[in-house]
Structure 1
Amino acid sequence: MGSWITMDEVCSRLGVRPQTIYAYVSRGKLEVMSDPSDTRRSLYRAEDVASLARRKQAGRKHETLATNTLFGAEPSIPTALSTFVRERLYYRGKDAVELAGSASVEDVAQLLWNAEQAPDFSCAERITAPGRVAAFTMLGALAATGHSTHGRMTRVLHQEAQGLVGKIANAFGAAPGGKPLHLRFAQGWKQPAPVAELLRTAMVLLVDHELTSSAFAARIAASTGASLPACLLSGMTTLSGPLHGDASGRVKALFDQVEREGEDQVLAHHLSTGVPLAGFGHHLYPDGDPRATALLARIELPETIARFIEKASGLTGLQPNVDVALAALVTHYGLPADAAFGLFATARSVGLLAHSLEQLGVGQVIRPRGRYVGPMPERTS
């Protein structure tokens, strides 16, 4: 068993505040356990702390740079789709939060795809059992029979892409037809116009987020000439991870626990055991996720959940991220159980396709090198 050290020792060795330690834990970079001699305290794995310290001290050696390029410290793929400036998200230079005030998903798709007109996400198919099984089954079948993206005109690819987004929306429960996506979801989930506006806001805020794991996966597929359904499937399967696009499911489970046990009991358990609170903190937004702020301001939260968010932020120093806002939206309005992922996946399908289309212009297969750390090969005579 490795050695374990206290919070004070971790802060001293890394030269950071407790809030940063919570962020390291939430991102899986630092393992935590309860102190056997005092369950109100947490202990942290010394080996993880040493590894974090080495990373901080690493210079600009080629090997360090190459490793960081893949694992998040230094993005390396040029993109004109989205970026962050002073902790704000921008789509092609336009503030995403401001766009969410009035733009539709169709408007943002036209912007990101550089399309001549807003795409038509209509779809006439009626899904009997909507959800992620229907979505992934449909995408898998299309990926198995799809045509390569090589040698095809951009407008033709745009037509195929808009059809894919429409099918994804239907698979997650949007009503068939030609209305904008947020209205189709509201109709499919039997929600009034005010909720449809919230769905529109949420989806616009979720369309893209620079070079995420899912965007990278979609780009890798696109670089090989794979079909658009295959590119989208690559991105969507990556998006489905609980540390990425399905994180709101963990938050919703936390909200359910708060409703059953009360916010004080839940907070006491998490803080005493060092278990991070799902949905709080984001390494790109140390002072708070503007997407969450924009969406939460439009939702009249249940009193228990509102108190929980306020107390959690006060005790940890971490602000709620967009996963909290999405879970709050689904919980408060009684949307289907998998609605949070459905909204996220449908909106992000626009961004994943934008990354796939942009990657086609590079004309080069993405092929990182492995850095071998296994046993030395045996010599043969």
Structure 2
Amino acid sequence: MIKNKVTADEAFKHANAHMISFIAADADFEEWKEASIDSKPLELYDPTGQKLYHQFSVYKDNNIIGRIYIGADKQLGASVQLISFYPKPFDATEAMKKSIEIAKNECPDGSIESTKMVVYDYPAIGAMTVVKDKTTGYEHRIFVDAYTLDIVEDEPATETESGIWSIYEHRLKNGTEENLKDWQKSDQLTKYIEQEATDKGIDINVPITKDKIQKLIDDSVIKLVTSKTLNVPLYGQEASDYCAAASGKMIAKYYNVDHTQTHIYEMMDEGGVIDDQIYYYVTSIFEGGLGKTGTFDDGTPIFSQLKSKINNYRPVVSLIPGHVRVCRGYSDTGVGFILFED
């Protein structure tokens, strides 16, 4: 529905206001002081064709230090859908060019219907070209990873294998009523911060200096934000299918236990399903696990539960189709934001 679409201009206001709230409340955003947001976002789509995110780049000293993803549809929930720190660079133009090139080679008699940048395997980004067979009318999708420019097979993701899946449909599967309420809360926060800043002569659409941030904090403009972050170390996965093992190593190290990713991978029986991953966490340290016998699987956690875990110094493992990551913190602006190690 058009009424639920979020324009780029509206998204830019949300990105700026939320950046200020995060800088004020969360030490992880210390480096973002005096940074600025490029007002021209990269438009990212879902494999279903729905516009998904406005991706804004955050610059400091002419270097990209982060990205803010604002939902392009209010039905997705809170306006800020994802934030990344020091993101790996990619060239969208080159990715789309490569996707078109492959499409022409594989379907020389087809007509190219569209080429878009997509989130094909959240949070992985790539280019998607849709080619229509002129004889049968059948449409083929060609995916190219934005970072490697490698072709990605158009196969659905499973619990154990990465692949193509719709984060848009995933967000909407439990209905849109609560999501729309969360977007309204985001909008209220945005308008509140924008108005308070304007009243104090601060333009939030330009880089915010440390002095101005401090003025907003001192005047209680954004003290409504609460946050907590656990000191969970970040480890990159050592093999393409080691995301569960890498997450396990992060949590193990947090509890001062040293296990290699290979050891964890084997303990998890290759980390294929949830029960195998839980086995590592509940098995005693003497037997090679972490000894966290209270570990359990909750397929539908709510923010208050995750917040409680973090407040009690317990990091949480999060699973999405074909991928595992660690939740190590949160920010609460009235809408909950989870901080992941990924």
Which band: TM-score by shorter chain?
under 0.3
Q: Which has the higher helix share?
A: 1
Query: Normalising to structure 2: TM-score of the pair?
Result: 0.24
Bigger relative contact order (CA 8 A; separation at least 6) = 1
Structure holding more strand per residue? 2
